[in-house]
């Protein structure tokens, strides 16, 4: 008796498709008609929600619901405008883009000295980023850019270097984007400088000399690319920290080791060696 039972719907559809592709005999034509009947049934069932919505909209219940919605529509619009304004304000005051920019700059500062030292362009006393601070803690003298005698604060202790860095950052804040961000883009107007953007993207001749913000669509894409690259740089710094703790080497050296022998220089081998 099981042989006389009709096949399941899915199997019947598959057979209909196969017989339609071969298209031979009367049986194939009947299966073809059956498959279209099933498709028609699906279309009818899918049209039921739209029909029901239209019927409700034309009924007294729908008219009452629409009247209540119109009464609250202004409140909904006001709330949407407030939320949009708060969203824009939060975006302007967001510190993520600042962290992203610092991470990208720091990644360059960690990679470039090591690369220049490896290719022989400059000879650094300590080209690896984390060893610089360690050397200063030991009292070593560091030459900037590998130039002998160019110490600046390199012959001083960690405290003096920290003070010099704070002063340099403060100077940068007085003349650069940090000043516009901290004091507001209107703070430079007494100097005859007009910045048309916001605190995170001041724009103007000083901060957008290539006029990249003239095309709003392209400018929004650049913003997205910037934050993506910044997030990648922040994640990369987690990798830098982990590599320094596990291998004691710089990121470029670790990368070259992994490329030369990926089976012996990887995360698992570094964890086993601990």
Confidence grade of residue 256 (pLDDT, cut at 50, 70, 90): very high
Q: Give the separation between CA 179 and CA 170, rounded to whole angstroms.
A: 9
pLDDT of residue 9: 43
Q: Cα separation of 34 and 46, whole Å?
A: 19
- Higher per-residue confidence, 27 vs 216: 216
CA separation for the pair 111, 72 (Å, rounded): 57
Indicate the pLDDT class of residue 16, thresholds 50, 70 and 90. Answer: very low
- Whether 7 shows a pLDDT value over 80: the answer reads no
Whether the pLDDT of residue 260 is over 80: the answer is yes
Summarised one tens digit per residue, pLDDT across range 174-190 is 556 666 667 777 777 77
Instruction: Sketch out the chain's domains with CATH numbers.
Output: 2-89 (no CATH), 96-104+215-274 (1.10.3460.10)
Closest CA to 130 of 236, 253, 249, 271: 249
* 95 sits in which H/E element: none
Per-residue confidence band for 97, with pLDDT thresholds at 50, 70 and 90: confident
User: Which residues are within 8 A (CB) of 32 and not within 5 positions of it... i.e. 6 or more apart?
Assistant: 16, 19, 20, 23
With cut-offs at 50, 70 and 90, classify the pLDDT of residue 238.
very high
* H-run or E-run covering 132: helix 129-138
Determine the Cα–Cα distance for residues 16 and 30; give it in Å rounded to an integer: 9
Q: Which span out of 15-24, 62-71, 86-95 was modeled with the highest average pLDDT?
A: 62-71
Arithmetic mean of pLDDT over the chain: 75
Taking alpha carbons only, the member of 1, 33, 2, 3 closest to residue 16 is 33
Choose between 192 and 28: higher pLDDT.
Answer: 192
pLDDT attached to residue 112: 93
Q: How many CA atoms lie within 13 A of 170 on its CB side?
A: 6
What is the Cα–Cα distance from 90 to 88, expressed in whole angstroms?
A: 5
């Amino acid at each position: 008796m099981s042989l006389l039972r009709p096949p399941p719907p899915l199997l019947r559809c598959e057979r209909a498709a196969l017989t339609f592709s071969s298209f031979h005999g009367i049986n194939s034509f009947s299966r073809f008609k059956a498959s279209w009947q099933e498709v028609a049934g699906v279309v009818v069932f899918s049209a039921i929600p739209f029909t029901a919505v239209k019927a409700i909209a034309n009924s007294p219940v729908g008219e009452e619901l629409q009247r209540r919605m119109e009464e609250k529509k202004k409140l909904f619009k006001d709330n949407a405008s407030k939320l949009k304004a708060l969203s824009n304000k939060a975006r302007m005051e967001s510190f993520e883009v600042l962290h992203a920019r610092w991470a990208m700059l720091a990644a360059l500062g960690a990679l470039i000295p090591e690369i220049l030292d490896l290719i022989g362009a400059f000879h650094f006393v300590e080209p690896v980023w984390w060893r610089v601070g360690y050397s200063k803690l030991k009292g070593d003298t560091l030459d900037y850019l590998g130039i002998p005698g160019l110490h600046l604060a390199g012959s001083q202790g960690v405290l003096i270097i920290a003070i010099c860095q704070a002063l340099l950052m403060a100077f940068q804040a007085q003349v650069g984007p940090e000043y516009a961000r901290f004091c507001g883009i209107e703070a430079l107007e007494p100097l005859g400088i007009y910045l048309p953007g916001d605190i995170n993207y001041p724009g103007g001749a000083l901060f957008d000399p290539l006029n990249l913000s003239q095309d709003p669509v392209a400018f929004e894409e650049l913003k997205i690319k910037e934050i993506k690259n910044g997030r990648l740089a922040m994640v990369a710094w987690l990798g830098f920290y982990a590599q320094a703790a596990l291998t004691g080497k710089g990121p470029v050296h670790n990368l070259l080791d992994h490329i030369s022998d990926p089976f012996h220089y990887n995360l698992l081998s570094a964890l086993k060696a601990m």
